[in-house]
Chain A
Amino acid sequence: MDAQLKRGLLDVCVLVAIKSEESYGYKIIKDLKPCVVLSESTLYTILKRLEGARMLTVRTAEHGGRLRKYYRITDAGRRRIEEFKEEWRQVMTIYQFVCKEDEEG
């Protein structure tokens, strides 16, 4: 898959993983596993990028005697998910057009 495309897709996947409630690194990887296998270092890069784009906020909290980072989605992050859905509605229309051509040809 095209690297740029994949990056965009993974960004949205991570945003969806923290959409309903804040989450932490390991949980995000586990939640996404049925859909996509994410390596730790890839996740780190994505989280950094999303934080830089203000699509999520980070807080550090104590958990079981150690520190854990929690990621929470922002309004900008939610908007990104909606944008993604709209973009892909268009992509799917094109996809169906392409497949129909295949059947007829």
Chain B
Amino acid sequence: MKKEEYLSALEKRLSGLPEKEKKERLRFFGEMIDDRIEDGCSEEDAVQELGSVEELAEQIIGEISLPAIAGHRMREKRALSGWEIALLIVGAPLWLPLLVAAVAVALSLYVVLWALLLSLWAVVLSITILFVAAVGSGIALAVRGDVPAGLALLGAGLFCAGLSILLFLASLGATKGVLKLTKKMIFGIKKSLLKKEERA
């Protein structure tokens, strides 16, 4: 791929970025290609060393913060023409509740996810407490002379210990999964914000 081809493909991918920032980045990568060529690379090799356009664009989107992208999108919105604004206002009774509902549903699903995690951790905690209590009172009973009951409680306590360890690992995995999902979601939102603008 030639330099111009590569840069224009990258520009398309970054079309949602603020104009100034996009230009600056394109110039930076253009300079990188030119310097590689000057260093003895062929144009194709120089371009190839930067990685694929998709990879580079994903990396760039990953590095820019969500507020920066969203803020830029908001500012763009102010550039709507008069009749578009009028249409938006007239349609508000229809799209506003729908939008609010959609956002609320998405948000509540996410909150539910965390609530589930929280209850999972609560279960782990209570089983751990159960383990301590059962072992403690089991030993106390055995010492006082009621050996069979004491042993039974001790056994139950150890069972709780095993259960709490398993559940602890499961909770840890689930929490990590949700955190990963959050990262992916933020990336997805960034990408979709940028894409919408591409169509406009």
List the interface of chain A (C-beta within 8 A of B): 24-27, 30, 39-42, 44-45, 64, 66-69
Cα distance A42–B51 in the bound complex, in angstroms? 13
Cβ of B38 under 8 Å from chain A: yes
Residues in B whose Cβ lies below 8 Å from that of A44: 25, 28
Max chain B C-beta neighbours (<10 A), residue from A24, A44, A67, A68: A44
Closest to B51 in A: A39
Q: State which residues 34-69 of B face A: CB under 8 Å.
A: 34-36, 38-39, 50-51, 56, 59-60, 63
Cα distance A26–B39 in the bound complex, in angstroms? 10
Majority secondary structure, B binding face:
helix
With A30-B39, A41-B60, A44-B28 given, can you name 6 additional A-B contacts, CB distance below 8 Å? A25-B32, A41-B56, A41-B63, A67-B31, A68-B35, A69-B31
Closest to B29 in A: A40
Number of interface residues of B (CB under 8 A): 17
What are 25 A-to-B residue pairs whose CB atoms are below 8 Å?
A24-B35, A25-B28, A25-B32, A26-B35, A26-B36, A39-B51, A39-B59, A40-B29, A40-B32, A40-B50, A40-B56, A41-B56, A41-B59, A41-B63, A44-B25, A44-B28, A45-B63, A64-B38, A66-B31, A66-B34, A67-B27, A67-B31, A68-B34, A69-B28, A69-B31
A24 touches B31 (CB 8 A): yes
List the interface of chain B (C-beta within 8 A of A): 25, 27-29, 31-32, 34-36, 38-39, 50-51, 56, 59-60, 63
B59 touches A26 (CB 8 A): no
B32 touches A26 (CB 8 A): yes
Residues in B whose Cβ lies below 8 Å from that of A27: 35
Cα distance A69–B44 in the bound complex, in angstroms? 23
A40 touches B28 (CB 8 A): yes
Rank and list the top 8 A-B pairs by shortest CB-CB distance, nearest first.
A26-B35, A41-B59, A45-B63, A40-B32, A44-B28, A41-B60, A26-B32, A68-B31
Residues in B whose Cβ lies below 8 Å from that of A66: 31, 34
Closest to B58 in A: A41
Residues in A whose Cβ lies below 8 Å from that of B50: 40
Q: How far is the CB of B197 from chain A (nearest CB, A)?
A: 20
Residues in B whose Cβ lies below 8 Å from that of A42: 59, 63
